[in-house]
Each structure stands twice: as structure tokens, then as C-alpha cells.
Amino acid sequence: MKVPVVTGITAFVFFLVLFIIIDSPLPLVGALFVAVFISEIAFYHYIAQKRARLRHPSD
């Protein structure tokens, strides 16, 4: 469960710096939006992998 959280925090910091560099009017809001979106994708991927492992424990 640590991977989606770390991915979200890393994405937030990266996109905050990026939006500040490109002089976005609301860098905090933009970075938060993108980080939540990326962490949702990471969470979905984590859950899908966990389900696949439970379905096929011998692999």
C-alpha cells in the first residue's frame, strides 16, 4: 500500500516544481489535481496486481 502513496507524493512534488517553473497561475491546485489522478491510477494498478496474485497463487 506504500507504493500508491509514495507515487502520489512524488508526483505532487514534481508537478508543483514544474508548474512553478512554467509560471502557472495556480501551481498548488494543478499539482494536487495531477497527483491525485496519478495516485488513483497507481492505486488501481496495485489492487489489480493483488487480485491477480490471489487468483493465481502458484505463479
The secondary structure of the chain, three-state, reads CHHHHHHHHHHHHHHHHHHHHCCCCCHHHHHHHHHHHHHHHHHHHHHHHHHHHHHCCCC
Interval 4-52: pLDDT, tens: 889 999 999 999 999 999 999 999 999 999 999 999 999 999 999 888 8
pLDDT of residue 26: 95
CB atoms within 10 A of CB 35: 20
pTM of the model: 0.80
Q: Give the range of the structural domain holding residue 23, as residue numbers without chain letter.
A: 2-55
pLDDT bucket at 53, cuts 50 / 70 / 90? confident
- Total tally of structural domains belonging to the chain: 1
